[in-house]
Amino acid sequence: MSLARSVAAFLLLLALQGCSGVQSALDPSGTEAERIDTLTWLLIVFSTTVFLAVGLITAAALRGGGRWRARLANERLVIGGGVVFPIVALTLLLGYGFYLMGPGSPAAARADGQLRIEVVGERWWWRVTYVDETGRRVESANEIRLPVGRPVQVELTSADVIHSFWIPRLAGKLDMIPGRTNRLTLQVAEAGISRGQCAEYCGGPHAFMSFFAIAMPEDQFTAWLDREAGDARNPSGEDQVAGQALFLSSGCVACHRVRGTEAQGTIGPDLTHVGSRHSLAAATLENDPDAFVRWIRDGQHVKPENLMPPYEIFTDGELRQLAAYLDQLR
């Protein structure tokens, strides 16, 4: 295979790779994303057809000779293709648009009185609060869990600059604007994991402001939410106890909350159940003890300019103890 051919094949593979996976709008798993996907393909096929037809007509007019030209200059073709066709086609499309955006539309179906999730964009992470049917508020961060098949209302706002909330597999993107609440209804079709990304440049580590959305069957979700609502687990092993002591005495508590302990800071993400999350630091790192160590010591290299100060005061042993403590917060 020549070099050009292999490069082309490689690029094609890359492009195909982009069509599936946890963060692809072309691999929808939510009601709204499915609608967007249908509309996208409809428009692509329709526009391609029109484009090809116009191209053919142009080619026939240029190269086809007198007979073709006479045929193309036919009044019926001009009026049919130039007036009737666009009116019919665009009317249908507009009707579909009105259906999607109008009061009777699926998107307008509010999930009133049901589960609500408030998401606040922060530089550069997500504050997530679940408000269930009974009004119970459960605070978490950097991850969203959703029950399969049930519409959930997501309320979006920002604490600082404009961010944008986008889970391509579940729905279109919606801006998070300070002083304003934008609403989005998410309904997931099947259990599984999707990735979301801040979609509005918000400063330095904007690219590292992501999260995972995890859809789970109804019963599992309810059980999970009950666990998430509870206080943090008490550390048991020696390392874990030492880690908690370090956590409580090293200033972490000024910014982080671990419910059930003295740590009641609210500047940074809630860490009550941080060990059970799918990722760390807004989907920047995996979630395991090594990642905790890296984050605490090298956070400014892992995610430059993020708003947690770096801690170079700890020895390796102390870092391991801290990581052991944080990791068991499940």
Partner 1 sequence: MKEPAKEAPTVSAILFLLAGPILWAGHLLLVYGVQSVTCVVGSGSVAPSALIRTLVVLVTLGAILLLCLALFFPGRLAHMLRYQTPDRDNHVFSVRVERLLILLSLPAVIWSGAAAFLLDACGLSR
- Residues in contact with ligand HEC by CB under 6 A are 124-125, 141-142, 247, 250-252, 254-256, 267-269, 271, 274, 280-282, 292, 295-296, 303, 306-309, 311, 322, 326
Q: Are 274 and 329 in contact (CB under 8 A)?
A: yes
* Range 132-138, long-range pairs (CB < 8 A, 24+ positions): 132/225, 136/229, 138/225, 138/228, 138/229
**Which of ligand HEC, partner 1, Cu ion, none has residue 268 at its interface (CB below 5 to 8 Å by kind)?**
ligand HEC
Q: Is 78 in the site for partner 1 (CB under 8 A)?
A: yes
**Which of partner 1, Cu ion, ligand HEC, none has residue 86 at its interface (CB below 5 to 8 Å by kind)?**
partner 1
Q: Are 278 and 193 in contact (CB under 8 A)?
A: yes
- Cα gap 146→222, rounded to integer Å: 10
Q: Which is nearer to ligand HEC, 148 or 229 (CB)?
A: 229
Q: Are 239 and 321 in contact (CB under 8 A)?
A: yes
Residue 176 three-state SS: strand
**What x-and-dash track marks residues 80-109 binding partner 1 by CB under 8 A?**
--xx--xx--xx--x---x--xxx------
In the complex, least distance from residue 125 CB atom to partner 1, rounded to whole angstroms:
23
Vertex 104 angle, CA 102 and 109, to 5°? 105
In the complex, least distance from residue 104 CB atom to partner 1, rounded to whole angstroms:
10
Q: Which is nearer to partner 1, 56 or 87 (CB)?
A: 87
Question: Could you give the C-alpha distances from 298 to 51, 304, 325, in angstroms and in order?
Answer: 53, 9, 18
Q: Are 140 and 279 in contact (CB under 8 A)?
A: no
Q: Which is nearer to ligand HEC, 92 or 267 (CB)?
A: 267
Q: How many CA atoms lie within 13 A of 160 on its CB side?
A: 13
Q: Which is nearer to ligand HEC, 96 or 311 (CB)?
A: 311
Q: Which is nearer to ligand HEC, 58 or 300 (CB)?
A: 300
**Which of Cu ion, ligand HEC, partner 1, none has residue 142 at its interface (CB below 5 to 8 Å by kind)?**
ligand HEC
Residues forming the site for Cu ion (CB under 5 A)? 163, 198, 202, 206, 209
Give Cβ neighbours of residue 192 (< 8 Å, ≥ 6 apart).
29, 214, 215
Residues 153 to 192: which contact partner 1 by CB under 8 A?
A: 174-175, 182
